Structure 1
Amino acid sequence: MKVDRLVSIIMILLEKKRVGAQELADMFEISLRTIYRDIDAISMAGIPVRSISGVGGGFEIMPEYKVDKKVFSADDLSALLMGLTSISTMIRGDELVHALTKVKSFIPADRAKDIELKANQIYIDLRPWMGNSNTQPYLGIVKTALQENKLLSFEYADRWGNKTTRTVEPYQLVLKSNHWYFQGYCYTRNDYRLFRLSRISDLQMKQDTFIPRDYQKPILDFTEILETLQTEIKIRIHKSVLDRVLEFCTYDHFMPDGDEHYIVNFPFIENEYYYDMLLSFGNKCECLEPRDIRTEMKRRIHDIAAIYDQ
């Protein structure tokens, strides 16, 4: 029994008032016996299909179960299509395919072109240009574990490369700043933790299930905390790294300095992450002030050069 055929039959029954058994059999090029078996499977799944005998009879979904197509505007359908298509590029699953099929079934033929045009005006592709090839299959494993309340085990590397073995109850997938994470209760730490998928290796879904506990959502908005920690430093950048610098501050922080450079009032926190960020711009960036940050940059650059002098 093919799932895609069952979904298609449901869509047809939602679309039409009543469909004869022979018409369905001819449509899918299968026997009447198979059609009756498919209808039984659909009914067992909780969709109320009834059979009407006699002339003009056939199968129909009970009217109170159907949704009026007019409840969705063109903008509603476009937004649903855009969101489902974007997620399905990274996270695969029958439920997403079925959801897309259902949404498309609500599109009237005379509005299909307009709705498709609106849906294509914004395209979100969550797949990276390059990088960790484990991300997409790991997303599938985590999603299945979430649905089935299965424990996950894996090796986890912290920011310094130290590895630990973890067993975790998964509770939520998170996409934050182009990186995928999942939030779960870690048995090693006896607390909730946010795990970055790119730092995970040997991810396994265990057969053991768990009883979900009161879920503690991760803190993802650090705007207020960052504002208290950040100070502005002055950097001079080449125009070739302008787009990268714009990821951290707005264009009103920029002031042209000749034809090739900009002076930027750059938000900065004195820690490893921000120093590494400035160093990543290479010779396209110079820290002008304050003096202590400039001096520390010189020391770090000297240490890097010393490695190559050995």
Structure 2
Amino acid sequence: MQISRLFTTVYILLNKKKVTAKELASYFEVSVRTIYRDIDTLSASGIPIYTSKGKNGGVSLLENFVLDKSLLSDQEQDEVLMSLQSLSSLDVPDVDPLLNKLKTLFSKQSTNWIDIDFSHWGSSNNERQKFTSLKIAILNQTPVTFDYYSSYGEKTERTVEPLKILFKGQSWYLYGYCRLKKDLRLFKITRMKDLTPLNETFEREISGDIWHNFQSKHARDVTLVIKFDKKIAYRVYDEFDPTCIQKHEDGCFTVTVTFPENEWVYDYILSYGCHAEVLAPIHIRDIIKRKFEEGLKKYL
């Protein structure tokens, strides 16, 4: 907060030349004493700021002072602006005023190049609000409660200390500490219902590689070799890295990919229906075959 206030103070003085400490205190909603401490901090940092007393007194910068923009190259300035636009699209508080000030400082009219909607296609406003609520809870370190439905349809009530929103494998997840399981867990956001923030805070830090730690704890990896029909080419190129894909003369594809082995990977393969065939390993092929047979019985 102080860093933003210091930058804004310099920006105001560059535009207004002189303001009183009382006016700055009113603008930032802080005490006059805080403003004088900020002035000391700026002065100690090499900013030529000074105060004058009397009828026309106030806080000023030395004449002809220009904030050194050469510290950042044009490319670095563009990257800063694009990063701030990314944050703005996520509705992070207080980003837009800083973005506008930097665009003025850098003398750039940046294009609004990104817009992000976390919710999936066809979702309601409640689904979009869920992401906003989680964002606020993460930033404010506020625990949340919700009903969670497992991949088997079982409902449990969870209280979680939310740490991060993650995207992987075409799905959004909440990563946080589950007080029920007393462990760090991933929760698929579409399976979270009746999300409610609690009136308390927590202290917890993220450590290490989230995905590596989670996979090594909850599932073992398996390397799959899957043959796909040419009719499903759009999904193959959407969902797999090109280095994993081998295209054959008949238009079909063979994909070699490593996934964590769990119920999710079986359901993922089944989502391709008759257009995918597991070639290896054999035990995965047998599992998929058995699941197809069990599903077929429902139609006989």
TM-score (norm 1): 0.67
Q: Deviations over 1:77-114 (max 9, x none)?
A: 22222222223323x2432223423432431x3xx25x
Letter of the structure 1 residue corresponding to residue 131 of structure 2: L
- CA distance in 2: counterparts of 1:128 and 1:247, whole angstroms: 19
| 1:153 and 2:153 correspond | no
Aligned mate of 2:211, from 195, 220, 224: 220
Q: Which residue of 2 aligns with 1:286?
A: 277
Is residue 51–residue 60 contact of structure 2 (8 Å, CA) maintained in 1? yes
Q: Secondary structure at the match of 1:150?
A: coil
Q: Aligned residue for 1:96?
A: 95
Q: RMSD of the TM alignment (CA)?
A: 4.3
- Verify the 8 A CA contact 1:248 1:267 in the aligned structure 2: no
1:222-241 equivalences under 5 Å are: 229-241=221-233
Is contact 1:239-1:262 (8 Å) kept? Answer: no
Query: How far does residue 158 in structure 1 lie from its aligned partner after superposition?
Result: 2.2
Runs of 4+ in 1 over 6 A off after TM superposition: 53-58
Given candidates 123, 136, 139, the residue that maps to 2:131 is 139
> Per-residue CA shift, 1:259-297, capped at 9, x if unaligned?
x42344454666432332222122333345666655543
More off after superposition, 293-302 vs 198-207: 293-302
CA distance in 2, matches of 1:57, 1:148: 40
Asked whether the equivalents of residues 149 and 156 of structure 2 are also in contact (C-alpha less than 8 Å), the reply is yes
Contact 1:232 1:268 in 2 (8 A): yes
The alpha-carbon distance between structure 1 residues 168 and 289, as it changes in their structure 2 partners (threshold 3 A), is: closer
Q: What displacement does 1:254 show? A: 0.7
Shift of 1:173: 1.7
- Post-superposition offset of 1:18: 0.3
The verdict on how the C-alpha distance between 1:62 and 1:238 changes in structure 2, with shifts beyond 3 A counting, is: farther
Determine if the alignment matches structure 1 residue 42 to structure 2 residue 28.
yes
- SS at 1:173 equivalent: strand
Amino acid at match of 2:74: A
Distance of aligned partners of 1:60 and 1:132 in 2 relative to their CA distance in 1, 3 Å threshold: farther
- Matched with 1:195 is 187
CA contact 2:164–2:176 (8 Å) conserved in 1 = no
Q: Which amino acid aligns with 1:206?
A: L
> Equivalent residue for 1:83?
83
Query: What are the Cα deviations for residues 183-232 of structure 1, in whole angstroms up to 9, with x where unaligned?
Result: 3333322333333332221111222334x256656722379959973234
Q: Does 1:16 align with 2:41?
A: no
The equivalent residue for 1:165 is: 157
* Aligned residue-pair number: 277
- 1:73 maps to which residue? 73
Identical columns (%): 26
Say if 1:155 and 1:163, in contact at 8 Å, map to a contact too.
yes
Gaps of 5+ in 2: 40-49
In structure 2, the CA distance between the partners of 1:175 and 1:290, relative to structure 1 (3 Å rule), is closer
- Structure 1 unaligned residues grouped into runs of 5+: 1-5, 22-34
Aligned mate of 1:185, from 177, 186, 200:
177
Distance 1:67 1:198, change over 3 A: farther
Change (3 A) 1:86 1:265: same
Q: CA deviation at 1:130?
A: 0.9
- Alignment-derived partner of residue 24 in structure 1: none
Residues 232 and 137 of structure 1: CA distance in aligned 2, closer, same or farther (over 3 Å): closer
Tell me, in whole angstroms, the C-alpha distance in 2 between the residues paired with 1:62 and 1:136.
49
Counterpart of 2:245?
253
